[in-house]
Amino acid sequence: QVQLAESGGGSVQAGGSLRLSCAASGYTSSSRCMAWFRQAPGKEREGVATINSSLMTSYVDSVKGRFTISKDNAKNTLYLQMNSLRPEDTAMYYCAAARYYCTVIPRAPDQFFAYWGQGTQVTVSS
């Protein structure tokens, strides 16, 4: 079992930055893929970024060049550095972990990721 807990969300103005953290506990060495997802009210959940055990990353086009996913294995923590935030980035952000290896954002996240956090809210005002 892996437990995930997100933090770092908040309210910022457009153009600002936030860094989200996801603390992992439990059998973390089994996680070959970790990811950030987001869901805005009335919209479907969207994959934002993934990172695998080889530190290969992938991003949805809308955040490329603005967001950076990283992880600190010593701290068992996943990060999402978000710069140049836009109002359309407003959403609940979730981290997820999977035993499977990933090179792109999986199309069926509910089948791919076994573990999910509770989420942290990000609100960007114009």
CA distance 25 to 126: 36
Pick from 20, 16, 24, 26: nearest CA to 7: 20
pLDDT of residue 28: 72
What is the average pLDDT score of the chain? 95
φ, ψ (nearest 5 deg) of residue 26: 100, -150
pLDDT in tens, 9-42: 999 999 999 999 999 998 776 779 999 999 999 9
Q: Which residue has the tokens 């996913």?
A: 69
pLDDT in tens, 65-76: 999 999 998 999
pLDDT of residue 26: 83
Residues 6+ apart with CB under 8 A from 39: 45, 46, 91, 92, 94
